[in-house]
Amino acid sequence: MIDQTTRFRSVILAGERPGGSPISHAFNVPASVMVPVAGQPSLARVMQAIEASQQASGGVICGPTADIISASEELQDVLGKPGFEWLAPADGPAASALSALEELDHFPTLLTAGDHALLTGEIVDNFCNLAISSFRKQIHSPETDAEADYDIVIGFVPYELVKAAWPESRRTVLKFSNGHFCGSNLFAIMTPEGRKALEFWRQAEADRKHPWRIARRFGFMALLLYLFRRLSLEDTLGGLSQAAGCRIGHVKVEFARAAVDVDSIEDQKLAEKILLGEK
C-alpha cells in the first residue's frame, strides 16, 4: 500500500553519447553529467538533492560506461559516494531505465536525469508528495470512468512560470488545448505496470527515424489533433495510456528551475546564474 509515508528509491540516468556530447567536449569533461555548475558536477548536485529529500533515498546511477569511469578519477569519486550503486547503461535512456528498475525491484521509484543540476530536496519532496496524492485518480477509458491507480506519474512545469522567471531562455514547450508546459525530467514509477510506459518509450526511440511508425502507435487523428492544439494534456496522456498499456498520470511541478537541465552551454550558463544569484 502506497501512502504519504512510503519512501521512493531513485534512479539517475547518467549515460553518455558514443564519442561524447557537444557539452562534454566544450567543458572537457568525461561525460555531460560531469559538467561543472557553480563549482560542482551536475551529477553530484542531483545526488545531493536526493540525499537532502525526505521522500526519496538512493538507488541506482545508470551510466556512464565503465571505460569512461576508469579514465576519470573525479567521476570515480562522485560515484564512490554512499547511497547509490553504479549500473552499466543499456542501449538508450529508456532501456537503461528499465534495466535500473529491474535492478532495484522497488516501487515507487523516482526517475530523473544526471544533468538535472538545479534539482533540490524541496523539489524532490514536492514531486513525490504530489505523485502519491495523485496515485488514485479518476481516469477515462472507452468502457467506463473508474477510480484506478496510476502506474506512472510525470511531472510538468507550467511554461508561464519558466517564462516569467527567465523570459530570454529558450525551452522546449509542449502545447496543449488547456495549457503550455515544459518537462521536468521527474517521473514516478508507482507500480510494476509502469514499466510498460518505459517500454513504449524504448520503442518510440527505436522509431524516431520512422515517424509513420510513431503515428501508427498513437493514431493519425490524435497526432493531428495535437498538432492543431486540440488535445488537452489529460486527453494526450489518456491516449498514451491506451497505447502503452498502463495508466499514465501527471502532476504540475510549480518550480521554474525544475524545467532546466544542463544539456547545453546556454543552460549551463543559466544554471550558474541561478545558483550564484542565490548566494
Condensed to tens digits (0 to 9), the pLDDT of residues 255-275 reads 999 999 999 999 999 999 999
User: Who wins on pLDDT, 194 or 210?
Assistant: 194
Instruction: State mean pLDDT over 238-246.
Output: 91
Percent of the chain with pLDDT over 70: 87
Tell which CATH architecture fits domain 8-277.
Answer: Alpha-Beta Complex (3.90)
**Closest Cα to residue 117, out of 278, 268, 279?**
268
Per-residue cell: 8: 521512493
pLDDT band at 164 (very low <50, low <70, confident <90, very high): very high
Residue 216, pLDDT score: 65
Q: Do residues 50 and 149 lie in contact, with contact meaning Cβ atoms separated by under 8 Å? A: no
Instruction: State mean pLDDT over 64-86.
Output: 97
pLDDT band at 159 (very low <50, low <70, confident <90, very high): very high
Q: Do residues 119 and 112 lie in contact, with contact meaning Cβ atoms separated by under 8 Å? A: yes
pLDDT band at 74 (very low <50, low <70, confident <90, very high): very high
Instruction: State mean pLDDT over 206-224.
Output: 65
Q: What is the pTM of this model?
A: 0.91
Instruction: State mean pLDDT over 56-85.
Output: 97
Give how far the C-alpha of residue 35 lies from the chain's centroid of Cα atoms, to the nearest Å. Answer: 18
Residues 6+ apart with CB under 8 A from 260: 117, 118, 169, 171, 267, 270, 271, 274
Residue 140, pLDDT score: 43
Task: Using DSSP bridges, classify how beta strands 109-113 and 179-189 pair: parallel, antiparallel or unpaired.
Answer: antiparallel
Give the domain ranges of the chain. Answer: 8-277
Residue 231, pLDDT score: 87
Tally of helices (H runs) and strands (E runs) in the chain: 12, 12
**Burial letters 159-183, b for 16+ CB under 10 A, else e:** bebbbeebeebebeeeebeeebbbb
Q: Please give the Cα distance from 64 to 124 (Å, whole number).
A: 23
Instruction: State mean pLDDT over 66-79.
Output: 97
Cis ω on the peptide bond leading into residue 211 (within 30° of 0)?
Answer: no
Q: Please give the Cα distance from 137 to 227 (Å, whole number).
A: 27
